[in-house]
Amino acid sequence: MNGSSRLSAQEIADILRERIRGGALKAGDRLPTQAELAEEFGVERGTVRQALRALQDDGLLSNVSKGSPPRIAAPAPAREEPQPTMVGLAPRLTEAFSAPRVRIDAVCLTAESFMLAVGEPVRHIHESRIRPEAIDVRIMLPSRRINLAFPVPVEGRDARDEDPVHERWLAQRNSQARVLQHNLQALRATHGIDVHVSFRALPFTPPVKLYLLNGEEALIGYYMLTRREEEWESQTLEMYDALGSASLLFSFAKRAGRRDQAFVEESQKWFDALWETITTDLTLS
């Protein structure tokens, strides 16, 4: 292609992209060298490099800049539609617990969804279908001492009054976290698995729930507020609250491409930094 007007990097990327999508270049095939591509398209090597970077950003190439021609990447797994937390979390945890060394990090309002969803991988362990060697779980939940953004009473309250909505949330937070901790730590006695479960007290109300699975996948769900009533200790509480189990979970997995990989890595860095900053362990009482 040595016409009077040279092809741009974008045009070269589009041509190669069509070859990949059309099957002329298949997953695992090596591309020609940069010199060969530059000669084919009648451009400088710098233009070829720009085209290859564009294809890499699209997740179509692997082994770029490794000293040899890049290969055509395997197709990224199809992104699943987001599902409610109570539907989507359990199978993702089960897959994560299939690793030899399991690391789960979580930030949430309560441990309800986590507590219920972890029952599936625990059952698989009891049935000898999976057998991790070690499980390390770190969870950040709001401190009992802060003024929560939600749940809150519809009518508000005087600072001197008791807040039954807060007390209800606190009772749920503590009981669910204790059950989660017990169910995981029991695996040490029943299966000899090295289990560590630790909690830290968040100084703010998390606007999202976040689960980080083995540093390979991030699940994020946005809390959506609703007005509702709940019976608690012989009284009807009107509150603005978030139904966490109904929050849609969006998955970002490293294997899905560079953008997902960046989200997972930045989320993990944020969690690790926050965990180290917060020195207050959560008191489950």
Please state the rounded mean pLDDT for residues 15-27: 85
pLDDT score, position 160: 54
pLDDT of residue 220 exceeding 60: yes
pLDDT of residue 265 exceeding 50: yes
Report d(CA 122, CA 129) in Å as an integer: 10
Dihedral (Cα; 20, 21, 22, 23), 10-degree rounding: 50
How does residue 201 score in pLDDT terms, banded at 50, 70 and 90?
very high
Most confident of 64-68, 184-188, 221-225: 184-188
pLDDT score, position 208: 95
Q: What average pLDDT does the chain have?
A: 89
Q: Is the peptide bond before 164 cis (omega within 30 degrees of 0)?
A: no
Q: Which two tokens stand for residue 35?
A: 């010199």
The number of residues in the chain equals 285
Please state the rounded mean pLDDT for residues 149-174: 86
